[in-house]
C-alpha cells in the first residue's frame, strides 16, 4: 500500500537526486534503517523500529531522557506524591489506590490543528481497556480504573492500587480521528485492521509531535515533515526520510555512497561489528558513538515444542552456547553477556542469580540424562529415534544476527543438537510469527525497555497474546508462572526502592531457573551520524533519541 501527499507524489528520490548536497545537508536528513514497522499504531505490536519512527511524530505524556530521568513531554508538571498531584487514597473495598492528576500543556495540537485535550486522554484510556483492541504499550492505560475530566487540559486518573509507575504514561490517541473507527469495530481484530494508522497513515491528525508523516510507502520508506501546529522548539529539518534497506551490508554501502546521511541507531540500523569496522576504515568521516543500552538480545524457546519441554534440554542449550566468546569476537567486548533480562545498569539488577557458564561437557551430560544419545551423524536421538533438531529464526538480512546464528549453530552441533535456520523479514517476524507464536523452536531478537519498566508486558500471564485479546501483549514465550505474576504485581506497587529490589531479585531467579529463553547479551547501541548533525543525543533505553528530534539540526 502507498500513501503520499502531493509533495511525496513528486518523488522523494527525484528530489534527492536534483538537490544540491549543501542544500540537502541543511534541509533534509535521510536515515537508513534495516527494519520497517508492521503498523504505525503506537499501541499495537511492540517493535523497536516502530517506537523509533513514532518518536519523531508522537509525544508521550512522560518519558525518560538521556540522563535516565523521568520528564514531562506533553504535561506541564510531573505528577508526584511530594507536590500533591499524586495521592494515596482509601478504596471502598478497604484497599489502597491512587489519584494522579495529569495536566496537559495547553498549546498541544494534532498536526491538523485540532487541540490535544483530555478528551483524547479519556478516549485512549477507554479503548485500552477493551481487550479486543490488542494493545501492547509498555505503560498501560489499564492501570487506571477511572478517568475524571476536570477541564480540557486536566484529568484525574484513579488507580485501584499503589503503583511505583504512577507518573509514567505513554502517548494518547486522537479521539476525533480514531473514535469513529473504534465505534465501528465490533469483533476482536477489527480495530487493528481498520485503524487510520494502518489504512491512511499520512492523516495529519494522527500526530502531535514536532514532525508528522507525509509520505508512507509500505516496506520502503517513511517521509516526515514539520508539524505546522507544533508549539515547541522548531524542528531543524524540512524533511526527514526513514529509508528501509533490510540488508545491513547494503545499508553500509548506502551510507558510504551518500544515499543516506546516517544510520538509525538504537537497534534499527547497522550492527555493532559493522560500525567498528567502519570506524576503522573511515575514522574521520563520521561521528561514532557506542551507547550502553537496556536492549536485551535473547532467544525465545517455543514452549509448545515437545523437544523443549524438558528443562535439561533447555539447560543443555545454554551451557553449550559459548556466549562469552561470541561477544568477544563479534563485539570486541562491548556487549556484556546476560544472565537475565535485567541489565547490570539497572537499580533492580542482582548479582546473586543463577549463572550458566560455557560447559560443553555438562551440556552433553544433561542431554544423556534426558535420554538423548548421539546418532551416526553426530546428532542426538531419543529412544524412539526422534532427532534433536530445532528450527532457529530471526530477522532476515541482519548480518550480525546471521553471524550469531552461525556461531551458535556450531556450538550446538558440538553438543549433538541440530538447528535449522529459518529467517523472515522483520515485519513478518514481529507482525505475525512472534505474537502468534508460530516459530518452530528458537527465535532470536531483542527486548527494549524503559528505565523502570515492569516486566509485565513480556513475562506476565495476562500479557500472553491470544486471538481473544487481539494478539495484544508481548509475552511471546507464553510464559505463565503464578509466583512471577505475584512478584510482578508486588513490584509494581513497591514505592520503597529496597523492597522493589528484593522483589526483582526473586523474579530474576525464577527466570534463570525456568529458562523460558536463552539470554545472550546487552547491547551497546552503535550510532553513525554525520559530523554536521548537532543535537543528536541517544538515550540508551526504550524512550529513543528520536523523541527529542526537534533538537536535531545541521550545523551552519
Mean pLDDT per 10-residue segment, the chain (556 residues): 35 36 68 93 86 96 91 96 94 94 97 98 94 74 94 97 92 97 90 94 98 96 98 97 92 95 89 89 94 90 96 98 94 91 89 95 98 96 96 90 95 98 91 91 88 90 90 90 96 90 97 97 92 94 93 92
β-strand partners of 222:
216, 242
All structural domains of the chain: 292-524 (3.10.105.10)
Contact predicate 156/69, CB 8 Å = no
Q: Cell for 188?
A: 476482536
Distance CA 255, CA 29 (A): 12
Q: What is the pLDDT of residue 525?
A: 87
Q: For the chain, state the CA radius of gyration.
A: 24
Distance CA 470, CA 390 (A): 28
Return phi, psi of residue 294, to 5°.
-90, 5
Distance CA 448, CA 542 (A): 5
Distance CA 246, CA 34 (A): 4
Return phi, psi of residue 274, to 5°.
-70, -40
Which residues have C-beta within 8 Å of that of residue 303, sequence separation ≥ 6? 309, 477, 478, 479, 516
Q: What is the pLDDT of residue 4?
A: 36
Distance CA 284, CA 347 (A): 37
β-strand partners of 524:
292
**Backbone region of residue 472 per phi and psi (left: phi > 0; alpha: psi in -120 to 50; beta: other values):** beta
Which residue reads 523523541 in cell numbers? 547
Which residues have C-beta within 8 Å of that of residue 7, sequence separation ≥ 6? 214, 215, 225
Q: What is the pLDDT of residue 72?
A: 96
Distance CA 481, CA 271 (A): 34
Query: End-to-end distance of the chain based on CA atoms, in angstroms?
Result: 38
Distance CA 466, CA 456 (A): 16
Three-state SS at 214: strand
Three-state SS at 83: coil
What 8-state DSSP symbol labels residue 132? Answer: G
Q: What is the pLDDT of residue 139?
A: 67
Q: How many CB atoms lie within 10 A of CB 410?
A: 11
Which residue reads 510531573 in cell numbers? 78
Distance CA 10, CA 205 (A): 23
Q: What is the pLDDT of residue 13?
A: 37
Distance CA 459, CA 324 (A): 26
What 8-state DSSP symbol labels residue 114? Answer: P
SS3 string, 495-520, reads CCHHHHHHHHHHHHHHHHHHCCEEEE
Contact predicate 290/526, CB 8 Å = yes
Distance CA 1, CA 202 (A): 12
Q: What is the pLDDT of residue 3?
A: 38
Amino acid at each position: 500500500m502507498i500513501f503520499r501527499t502531493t509533495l511525496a507524489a513528486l518523488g522523494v528520490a527525484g528530489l534527492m537526486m536534483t538537490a544540491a548536497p549543501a542544500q540537502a545537508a541543511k534541509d533534509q536528513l535521510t536515515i537508513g534503517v534495516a527494519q520497517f514497522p508492521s503498523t504505525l499504531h503506537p499501541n499495537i505490536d511492540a517493535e523497536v523500529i516502530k517506537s523509533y519512527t513514532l518518536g519523531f511524530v508522537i509525544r508521550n505524556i512522560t518519558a525518560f531522557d538521556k540522563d535516565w530521568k523521568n520528564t514531562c513531554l506533553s504535561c506541564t508538571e510531573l505528577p508526584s506524591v511530594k507536590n500533591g498531584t499524586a495521592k494515596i487514597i482509601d478504596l471502598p473495598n478497604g484497599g489502597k489506590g491512587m489519584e494522579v492528576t495529569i495536566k496537559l500543556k495547553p498549546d498541544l495540537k494534532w498536526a491538523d490543528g485540532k487541540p490535544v485535550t483530555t478528551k483524547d486522554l479519556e478516549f485512549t484510556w477507554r479503548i485500552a481497556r477493551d481487550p479486543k483492541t490488542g494493545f501492547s504499550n509498555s505503560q498501560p492505560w489499564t492501570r487506571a480504573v477511572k478517568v475524571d475530566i476536570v477541564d480540557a487540559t486536566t484529568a484525574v486518573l484513579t488507580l485501584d492500587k499503589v503503583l511505583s509507575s504512577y507518573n509514567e504514561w505513554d502517548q494518547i490517541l486522537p479521539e476525533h480521528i480514531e473514535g469513529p473507527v473504534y465505534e465501528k469495530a465490533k469483533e476482536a481484530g477489527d480495530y487493528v485492521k481498520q485503524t487510520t494508522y494502518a489504512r491512511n497513515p499520512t492523516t495529519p491528525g494522527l500526530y502531535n509531535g514536532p514532525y508528522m508523516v507525509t509520505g508512507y510507502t509500505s516496506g520502503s520508506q517513511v517521509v516526515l515533515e514539520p508539524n505546522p501546529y507544533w508549539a515547541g522548539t522548531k524542528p531543524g529539518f524540512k524533511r526527514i526520510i526513514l529509508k528501509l534497506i533490510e540488508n545491513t551490508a547494503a545499508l553500509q554501502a548506502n551510507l558510504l555512497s551518500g544515499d543516506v546521511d546516517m544510520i538509525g541507531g538504537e537497534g534499527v540500523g547497522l550492527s555493532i561489528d559493522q560500525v567498528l569496522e567502519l570506524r576503522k576504515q573511515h575514522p574521520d568521516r563520521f561521528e561514532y558513538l557506542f551507547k550502553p543500552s537496556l536492549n536485551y538480545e535473547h532467544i525465545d524457546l517455543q514452549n509448545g515444542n515437545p523437544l523443549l519441554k524438558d528443562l535439561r534440554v533447555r539447560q543443555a542449550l545454554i551451557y553449550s552456547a559459548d556466549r562469552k566468546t561470541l561477544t568477544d569476537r563479534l563485539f570486541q567486548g562491548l556487549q556484556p553477556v546476560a544472565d537475565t533480562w535485567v541489565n547490570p545498569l539497572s537499580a533492580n539488577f542482582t548479582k546473586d542469580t543463577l549463572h550458566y557458564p560455557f560447559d560443553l561437557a555438562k551440556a552433553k551430560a544433561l542431554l544423556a540424562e534426558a535420554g538423548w544419545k548421539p546418532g551416526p551423524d553426530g546428532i542426538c536421538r531419543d529412544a524412539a529415534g526422534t532427532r534433536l533438531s530445532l528450527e532457529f529464526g530471526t530477522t532476515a538480512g541482519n548480518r550480525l544476527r546471521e553471524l550469531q546464528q552461525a556461531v551458535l549453530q556450531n556450538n550446538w552441533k558440538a553438543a549433538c543438537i541440530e538447528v535449522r535456520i529459518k529467517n523472515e523479514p522483520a515485519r513478518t517476524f514481529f507482525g505475525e510469527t512472534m505474537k502468534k507464536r508460530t516459530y518452530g523452536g528458537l527465535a532470536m531478537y531483542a527486548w527494549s525497555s524503559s528505565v523502570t519498566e515492569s516486566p509485565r508486558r513480556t513475562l506476565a500471564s495476562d500479557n500472553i497474546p491470544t486471538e481473544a485479546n487481539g494478539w495484544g501483549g508481548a509475552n511471546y514465550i507464553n510464559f505463565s508462572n503464578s509466583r512471577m505474576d505475584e512478584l510482578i504485581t508486588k513490584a509494581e506497587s513497591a514505592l520503597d526502592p529496597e523492597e522493589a529490589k528484593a522483589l526483582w531479585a526473586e523474579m530474576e531467579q525464577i527466570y534463570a531457573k525456568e529458562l523460558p529463553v536463552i539470554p545472550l547479551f546487552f547491547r551497546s547501541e552503535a550510532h553513525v551520524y554525520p559530523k554536521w548533525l548537532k543535537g543528536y543525543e541517544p538515550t540508551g533505553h526504550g524512550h529513543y533519541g528520536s523523541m527529542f528530534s526537534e533538537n536535531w539540526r545541521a550545523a551552519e
